[in-house]
Amino acid sequence: MSTIKAEQLADLFESVAEIFAAKKDELCEMDAKMGDGDLGLTMDKGYGALPGILREVAEPGDIGKTLMKGGMKMAGLVPSTMGTLMGSGIMEGGKALKGKAEMGPAELADYLTGFAAGLQKRGKCQPGDRTILDSVLPGAQKAQEAAAAGADLKGVIGAAVEGAKAGVEATKDMLPKFGKAAVFTAKAKGVADQGAVAGLTMLEGLQGGIEKLA
């Protein structure tokens, strides 16, 4: 498979929904140590609903518009900080693909870059602030490098996952600056940021979806 067509978008995100359903408890346990303890529930609820939302709001032949509408509706469904960030990421990623009927390697890299930009804009965070951006941004950067080097869809998402893994590892040396996690700075040393892990999990879900559709 060289591209993902607009009508396959919901199927692609089914794999993201599945991985968050499987890792819901694990993410909640991580979050309970540094935050509200509901991260897994938020990601499961939002991404669990997204495939159905994408089918409902589908714009035939326009992946970008479908994603923009889907992200907006998902943000309304999960009105938490992380839910809003995820919706903003999807909307901004969709904006980069507006008018596209298919998602090839370059478009996938552009979606991930847009997603990271959406997180940064909405969350007002920077690389190194120990947030989800610290896995998604390096993932997007590696995806762009792979696409520029001529990688196929599997190669691009594989590079994104590897970049995000390195990003998660790097958060172990960062101090939290946002939310309740900022109160637990002493506990953060040597522990991966739970938001960054959620970002990696999302990319792993997309990787699973691309492998299934191939």
Residue ranges of domains in the chain, CATH in brackets: 4-213 (1.25.40.340)
* pLDDT at 36 (0 to 100): 79
How far apart (Å, rounded) are the C-alpha atoms in residues 72 and 122?
13
- Over 90: is that where the pLDDT of 32 sits? no
Per-residue confidence (pLDDT) for residue 64, from 0 to 100: 98
Secondary structure (DSSP) of the chain: ---EEGGGHHHHHHHHHHHHHHHHHHHHHHHHHHS-S-HHHHHHHHHHHHHHHHHHS--TT-HHHHHHHHHHHHHHHS-SHHHHHHHHHHHHHHHTTTT-SEE-HHHHHHHHHHHHHHHHHHHT--TTSSSTHHHHHHHHHHHHHHHHTT--HHHHHHHHHHHHHHHHHHGGG----STGGGGGHHHHTTS--HHHHHHHHHHHHHHHHHHHH-
Name the pTM for this structure. 0.94
- Confidence band of 26 (pLDDT split at 50, 70, 90): very high
Q: Which of 44-58, 111-125, 170-184 has the lowest mean pLDDT?
A: 170-184
Q: For the residues 143-169, what does the mean pLDDT come to?
A: 98
On average, the pLDDT of the chain sits at: 93
